[in-house]
Amino acid sequence: MFESIKISNLPPYAKLFVGLFTTLMLCVCAWTILILYIQEGMISEEDVPAYVTEPYGQAEEADDTKAESETGEAENGLGPDQFEHNLKLAHTHINGQTLLFFAIGLVFLFTSVKPKIKIATLWVFGLSVFVHAFGLAGQHFHWFYDDILAISGFLILGSIAYMAFVIYVNLFEKPADSL
């Protein structure tokens, strides 16, 4: 059934939808990379627009009067609140990335890519989402989590970029003759 439906055979309005969807997916990737650059300090403060750095509301002042032993913080300055924050962040990411996986993966199924490459791409993307959530949960607690977070994030973005490229190529192909 999937073999009979190809992106190149879609009517113009469907191609427009797929093209806009794919462009929006690439915007998600570009925004993610921008956030990373800002967080890692790869872009100077002067180059960052004010709306990105200024908070929407007033943050509560931290109470630094407690002794370190009372806060339950680990030697590296990370406490149980950080782990809870990481778990919530991982939960949010796995939800969003799973939706991205489903959406672009579904369109990718109808490309002209060979089935083995489709299978490999989908496995890489799917496993990377899981590993990314695992890395987020342990972020800043050990270098291992930080490294798998970076690698899996790169693989997720790479998978999306590859799928988008193939989808664009298929959008500009001439329709195949019906069998």
**Domain spans of the chain, in order of start:** 2-48+79-171
Q: Which CATH class is domain 2-48+79-171?
A: mainly alpha
Can you read off the two tokens belonging to residue 178?
A: 């019906």
- At residue 41, the 3 state secondary structure works out as coil
Mean pLDDT, consecutive 10-residue segments, the chain of 179 residues? 78 92 90 79 71 55 47 57 83 88 94 94 95 88 89 94 95 74
> DSSP string covering 71-139, please?
HT--TTS--HHHHHHHHHHHHHHHHHHHHHHHHHHHHHTTSSS-HHHHHHHHHHHHHHHHHHHHHHHTT
Supply the pLDDT for residue 131.
94
Supply the pLDDT for residue 52.
60
**How far does CA 116 lie from the centroid of its chain?**
23
The pTM of the whole model exceeds 0.75: no
